[in-house]
Chain A
Amino acid sequence: MTEIGKTVLDSGWLAARSTEVNDDGVKLTTTNPPTLGPQSRWMEAVVPGTVLGTLVKNKSIPDPFYGLENEAIIDIADSGRDYYTFWFYKTFQCKRLLNQYVHLNFRAINYSAEVYLNGHKTVLPKGMFRRHTLDVTDILHPEKNLLAVIVHPPDHPGTIPAEGGQGGDHEIGKDVAAQYVEGWDWICPIRDRNTGIWDEVSLTVTGPVRIIDPHLVSTFFDNYKRAYLHVTAELENKSSWNADCSVNIQVTAELEDGVCLV
């Protein structure tokens, strides 16, 4: 049985360059899941992380932070976006109970992606600084679940002029993404423009009602003697019947040495 709560998916990931994988996401997550091996194009991946982070970990490229090694890595402007379009793959287990709901969360992906889970496809829209939450309750398998994500680089990766300069040719500014990746006075261009699942991936299991993005605000009066805590939260009822809920807020101050005051 799966406890209510969050499980971070940050191990056991594989990756491969999209141009070297013949299967599509449906096959990868049903009949033809990837495996590691001497002949396989798949490698162990770093998630959260970027394509270059995975390639450095596998020593497929030198670490760009040493010497002039960055010059040895082909830039996306020369290789084309497909060269840095990568598959990331993982299996996981999640035995949910009746009236439990499961969401798959990506806290940030650069720059757009398609997610395949057990043969079901979902498109994740563009944008480096946005979260994605998928309700996967109905497509989970009781035993092993197969997850594949193909991640595409920013739409406008730009070209680095011979003379370099802050932000290269500024094309990256057309997207909603970090701009330093075309190079700046303090850093060389990042060859994959930081394409990848660069922040936390998690599974959250809840009951029929889930809490979304609470907002906490404090206000003060009488010279900070009188304070109010204002709490607003979105509540979503996933079930098909009215949910009669009691919502509790508990505020504890951690004193020294782990003693709590409620």
Chain B
Amino acid sequence: EHVHTENVIIPAKGHIQHTFNQLFFYKPELWWPNGMGKQNLYNILITVVVKEFGESDSWMQPFGFRKIESDIDSVTGGRLFKINGEPIFIRGGNWILSDGLLRLSKERYRTDIKFHADMNMNMIRCWGGGLAERPDFYHFCDIYGLLVWQEFWITGDVDGRGVPVSNPNGPLDHDLFMLCARDTVKLLRNHPSLALWVGGNEQVPPKDINEALQQDLRLHPYFITQFLS
């Protein structure tokens, strides 16, 4: 029931975007954050086989079935999170980066992230003055159940504050910022631990960037429709 094949014809030198018919699952094992349940992961394997050639490419990703919602609470002004419909009390840690000279390693990521889980935390906030963290970071957050709050590269200290105000309009090249943001989203978007994209640290990005990010990162209407049983 979980092997699905579709036939596609791609024109010469063609580049297409193909959306598969959705796959139905009855009561899948859900992915839960640390302390709320198991971090169930499924391996999603996509292969493309070309007639008269054979297997042409394949791609694999550990994937967690989960629904993450968050809204601003009108009473407290704080952000409330729900995972799979269940409210969660966020116990989070601040994360800048693994090593100042970017000597990044899987072992270090695993150790640091497991440490956060052992401290009974369920979220890590990646500060905007650091990195868009790497797939290895997210992989271990998927495994240990750490939700990730990932900020883009804007900080209150460097952008739009101070005397005199520095970088009032953020980086010089807004198109470059958006290109990097979009590519980063594509790199990280399949990780179940990714809970929230945030414009920057203590600062709202310049208006055009902020609106473009909000537009690009809204939940696509396609996924809001209620399928009838």
Residues of A that sit less than 8 Å from B by CB: 4-5, 46, 48-50, 52-53, 56, 64-65, 99, 107-108, 125-131, 166-167, 169-170, 172-180, 184, 186-187, 190, 194, 196, 198-199, 206-211, 213-254, 260, 262
Instruction: Please state if A217 and B155 are interface contacts (CB–CB under 8 Å).
Output: no
Give CA–CA (A47, B67) in the complex, Å: 37
Q: How many residues of B contact A (CB 8 A)?
A: 96
Give CA–CA (A198, B103) in the complex, Å: 8
Q: B101: shortest Cβ distance to chain A, in Å? A: 5
Residues of B that sit less than 8 Å from A by CB: 2-20, 22-30, 40-51, 53-59, 61, 63, 65-67, 84-85, 96-97, 100-104, 128-132, 134, 153, 155, 157-159, 162, 166-167, 170-173, 176-177, 179-181, 183-184, 186-187, 189-190, 220, 222-223, 226-227, 229
Instruction: Please state if A5 and B223 are interface contacts (CB–CB under 8 Å).
Output: no
Instruction: Please state if A247 and B54 are interface contacts (CB–CB under 8 Å).
Output: no
Q: Which residues of B contact A236 (CB under 8 A)?
A: 10, 14-16
Q: Which residues of A contact B103 (CB under 8 A)?
A: 46, 49, 53
Q: A225: shortest Cβ distance to chain B, in Å? A: 5
Instruction: Please state if B53 and A207 are interface contacts (CB–CB under 8 Å).
Output: yes
Q: Which residues of A contact B54 (CB under 8 A)?
A: 207
Give CA–CA (A5, B153) in the complex, Å: 32
A-B contact pairs, 22 of them (CB 8 A): A5-B58, A50-B102, A126-B173, A127-B180, A131-B183, A170-B159, A176-B180, A178-B131, A179-B128, A186-B96, A187-B100, A207-B55, A215-B189, A217-B220, A220-B67, A226-B25, A227-B24, A227-B28, A227-B65, A240-B12, A247-B7, A248-B4
Instruction: Please state if B16 and A240 are interface contacts (CB–CB under 8 Å).
Output: no
Q: Pick the contact of B177: A50, A176, A222, A243 (CB < 8 A).
A: A176
Q: B217: shortest Cβ distance to chain A, in Å? A: 13
Q: Which residues of B contact A216 (CB under 8 A)?
A: 44, 61, 63, 190
8 residue pairs, one from A and one from B, having the closest CB atoms: A207-B56, A170-B166, A173-B158, A251-B2, A237-B10, A166-B157, A228-B22, A173-B167
Chain A CB count within 10 A is highest, among B23, B41, B55, B229, for B23
Chain B CB count within 10 A is highest, among A177, A218, A244, A254, for A218
Instruction: Please state if B42 and A253 are interface contacts (CB–CB under 8 Å).
Output: yes
Give CA–CA (A5, B55) in the complex, Å: 11
Give CA–CA (A64, B102) in the complex, Å: 13
Q: Pick the contact of A242: B12, B45, B170, B180 (CB < 8 A).
A: B12
Instruction: Please state if A180 and B53 are interface contacts (CB–CB under 8 Å).
Output: no
Instruction: Please state if B101 and A64 are interface contacts (CB–CB under 8 Å).
Output: yes
Chain B CB count within 10 A is highest, among A187, A219, A226, for A219
